[in-house]
Chain A
Amino acid sequence: MADAAPLPPTNGDMSGAVGAWNWDIASRLLVADARFASLYGLDPAAAAAGLPASAFFEPVLEQDRLRLRIAVAGALRGAEVFARDYRVLLDGEVRWVSARGRTYFDETDTPTRFAGRLTDVTEQKRLEERLRIAQTAGGVGSFEYLSGYGTADVSDEFCRLLGLHTAKSLPVRTINSVVHPDDPPIIQGRDGSGALGTAFHEFRIHRADTGEERWLASRGEYRPADRGGVSFIGVIYDITASKRSEAALRLLTETLEERVEARTQERDRIWNLSGDLLNIIEPDGTQRAVNPAWKRVLGHDEAELVGRSMECLIHADDLPLARTRLEALARGEPVAAFDTRLRAKDGSHRWINWTGMSDGETIYGIGRDVTQRKLLEEQLRHSQKMEAVGQLTGGLAHDFNNMLTGVMGGIDMARMLLAQGRLEDVDRLLEASMQSGQRAAALTHRLLAFSRRQALDNQPLDVGTLIGSMQDLLRRTLGEQVELHIDTPFELWTTLADESQLESAILNLAINARDAMPDGGRLTIAARNASLSEADLAGSDQAQPGEFVEILVTDTGLGMPPEVLAKAFDPFYTTKPVGQGTGLGLSMIYGFVQQSRGHVAIESQEGRGTKIRLYLPRHDGGSEGEATPEMPTAITGSGEIVLVVEDDPAVLRLMLDALRELGYRTIETASGKEAVPILQSRRHLDLLISDVGLPGLNGRQIAEIARQIRPDMPVLLMTAYTRDAGDEAGFLAPGIEVMQKPFSIDQLGRRVTRILRSPHGNSSAGVG
């Protein structure tokens, strides 16, 4: 082994036993010394004399053998450097050995022998493994540097801490290049002139892989090296966390006062400048502080608010909601944003959206004025309603076409039979046509109620009598499961309303109530006199404060959750299965009540039932006795003269025929132009019947002219689509009535008879 070329450097010093081998490639003979023999468990004499080269693999642990053979194969084929650590099994004990060797060549560059040294590194392996685990677990990286050299020996963890690829040695430049330029480098004293002894310093790095800034500390020792120069051996570890908390703490103490001052100013500014209402409230609702926005938004001075309960500003309808939210806040529960109306100084109300927070003792409120938004929402809702109407119209056209087909088809058939002289079936066909027509009329009636364009036949009405008369109908409708209670005092005021509409509304509500009580329950229909203030009527666009007759329909049914309640009056909104309801019920009631200048209120709690209140204005005109009784059976005239204005020839012909049939005399005109001279003439007239929609003077104008010329002559206006009449329903001058088209001859007859027999009609006379 004397001529062995310099071996490559090995890790650590070889403290274990060192043996030597020489493998002659041509003869395949392995010669080894006694040390090698003892490490391999070979007979020293035989090893010295030469063994078959396969002896090199014999004691090697199975798992390591193949890899060793490949490495040796490389060496035998000219790989110069051989370095391999592997395990041998000796007397049942596993030992780690480290083989370092090289291949030697002859002058023709042919490999001749493979020789090297074998070291027992069992102990070293164990220490290395421990050190590796210690470094990895502790996040400690070690390094060793010898002054004057360009590279330093480093551990894997060292590389990992700096974000470098792991390597056994790294250029000092590479190591120091990750250090922050303002901080001392990791490897110092490269010329070996620094002081000996321990050293400690802290520094920032930018990790080579991610660029992240970290704080590291280095602790080490400068010692004179064996080979001359100075060695610097040490460790590095991460101190970022403690550095950061240290820095944060320092900053905190240095700037605490300044920041407290600054924050206070900042908060004052927010408090003062905020456009939102800010307040601080005691758990009982007393306001402790309010910001200037209260003055700007609502007009109230701070002095008027502080020390008083917030509740005195909240709209009565919103109070229950506000109370539950305040109570929840007082208990420290989180509360989602909610809206309430607050009374402003000028008496108007503003919608405020509240966010509340509580620290258990004090409630902090932030209120934003959302009145504008509410308004927009209302408009949006309305436009959505209109869109829905549009959708409905399409469906209605379809239904109407079907009904018209029934009407026209029946008439057509009847005409055919008449032409053939088959009179026996005509009546049946006409009856079918009539039913189709009536169905269509009923549908338009309902629709117009919904769209508030129905010409209401408002009359003084005793609600108690009406409800009483409905008892039988209601009981039949409700069935045996539902107990009906009716509670109507005798001293109930008279109201002004369309009787059939009110009847239909009450019936609808009763049906809804029945459906809400599938397992039975109690339905109470009550009526009483009530006075409503402006506050009570907030949200109503038709009713004026004053006296009303209140009709309460209360059930003990399922009730409605808030989201259903909110939409209860929306058209087509229904919770019933498809086919069981149009969804028009409540909205039609709403339309009818609004049109009657009344008000509707609904209260419901899930599982607790629903209470609906209808308010109809008190009729201040007449006494109960004035309630018009339905006319007696006789519907024939006795030669009274009726002036008819109608531009549609078919309708005109029909009406003239009908009136004559009923025993009236008629004067026909097609327009105001023709009618006015007749009105102005001295001719005796008992009644004017006019269509509203006419070319030139419309029906209303003709009626007005008639009132001036003949104040006592009754007028009956007919309308198919009564925008004007509808909006003014109930407010027509006395003696002018409106009749909704279409109508049957029977209806016309009854109406005319009633008008002519009423006091106005009776006193009718010619001009002069």
Chain B
Amino acid sequence: MTSLIVPLDDLERDALTELVNIGVSRAAVSLRKMAGEQVLLSVPAVEVVTRRGATTLIRERESGALIAVRQDFAGVFSGRALLIFPESNSMALVRSVTAGSLSAEDAAELEDEALAETGNVVLNSCLATMANMLQKPLTMSLPEVVRGDGSALFDLTLSNSEDAVVLFLYINFAINDREIRGYIAMLMDLPSIEALRGLIAEFIARVIGDAM
């Protein structure tokens, strides 16, 4: 069972879910444009878990090898965003985003580079949207492609302990008509969760104030 360690209350959790939802929706728009296909999203899940917990969570859902594009972000709150999908989907995704620009051979050669750029676009649009919503700027690192199991993907430089608590946000996506699915995940450590909490409160005040 994934144990919730830091109690974000229901409202904070909902607001955070919506923030991610907005960001990911924007990212889905980008991905849609790149792939030229419908992109389906799930309702985001937000959990505060240990890093090991995040690893097993992904591993149970995906028993095969994974590939991910990861990007670190820093600002009032810091963390890592990941675009994760089964390695077996990788080429399909690359072909999907390079269709019309590259031949299949070139695409294969450019696999990592194409993945990095896709991740860059998807994660940037997601994070930038969230930053705009929270009205706090974030700086983002260059994208990096990682292969391996969950633990390699979630190797947060911020905290080395397996037991370190992280905010784990993930959302399923699937590209219509193609066997492509994956996750967008975000990891934040405790100090960032605390900082985020304050921003969420402001966000709630804003949206409730002018909802109608």
Contacts and interface: CB of A to CB of B under 8 A. Distances in A.
Direct contact of A and B (CB under 8 A): yes
Interface stretch (A165-173, A316-324, A370-378, A637-645): A165-173
Nearest to A72: B211
Contacts of B15: 70
A77 interface: yes
Given A72-B211, A170-B61, A66 B56 contact: no
B40 interface: yes
A164 interface: yes
Contacts of B207: 69-70, 73-74, 77
Contacts of A77: 18, 22, 133, 207
Nearest to B179: A150
A339 B10 CA distance: 72
Say which size band chain A's interface belongs to.
Answer: 35 or more
B63 A79 contact: no
Interface in B21-42: 21-22, 24-26, 28-29, 38, 40-42
B15 to A, nearest CB: 5
Nearest to B39: A80
A79 B18 contact: yes
Contact of A165 (B60, B64, B208): B60
Nearest to A6: B40
Contacts of A208: 56, 60
A67 interface: yes
Pick the most buried of A8, A81, A166, A173: most chain B CB atoms within 10 A of its CB. Answer: A81
B57 interface: yes
A173 B10 CA distance: 33
B43 A170 contact: no
B19 interface: yes
A170 B57 CA distance: 11
Contacts of B28: 80
Contacts of B41: 8, 80-81
B60 A74 contact: no
Interface in A324-381: none
A310 interface: no
Nearest to A55: B212
A584 interface: no
Interface residues of B, number: 36
Contacts of B14: 67, 70-71
B45 to A, nearest CB: 10
B18 A78 contact: no
Contacts of B43: 8, 81, 83
A579 B60 CA distance: 79
A138 interface: no
Chain A, interface SS category: mixed
A177 interface: yes
Contacts of B129: 78
A165 B40 CA distance: 24
Pick the most buried of B22, B38, B64: most chain A CB atoms within 10 A of its CB. Answer: B22
B212 A28 contact: yes
Contact of A78 (B22, B40, B64, B208): B22
B133 A167 contact: no
A349 B207 CA distance: 98
A71 B212 CA distance: 13
Contacts of A5: 38
A165 B53 CA distance: 9
A173 B63 contact: yes
A78 B25 contact: yes
Given A6-B40, A81-B21, A165-B56, A54 B212 contact: yes
Contact of A70 (B11, B60, B212): B11
Interface in B171-212: 204, 207-208, 211-212
B208 A73 contact: yes
A74 B22 contact: yes
Nearest to B26: A78
B2 A79 contact: no
Interface string A62-98: 0000110111111011111101000000000000000
Contacts of B26: 78, 109
Interface of B: 1-2, 10-11, 14-15, 17-19, 21-22, 24-26, 28-29, 38, 40-43, 53, 56-57, 60-64, 129, 133, 204, 207-208, 211-212
Which 9 A-B pairs rank lowest in CB-CB distance, beginning with the nearest?
Answer: A74-B18, A79-B21, A73-B207, A80-B25, A173-B63, A79-B22, A54-B212, A70-B14, A78-B22
15 contacts: A71-B17, A73-B208, A73-B211, A77-B18, A78-B25, A80-B25, A80-B28, A83-B43, A103-B25, A160-B1, A165-B57, A165-B60, A170-B61, A174-B63, A208-B60
Given A77-B207, A79-B24, A174-B60, 5 more contacts: A5-B38, A74-B18, A79-B25, A174-B63, A208-B60
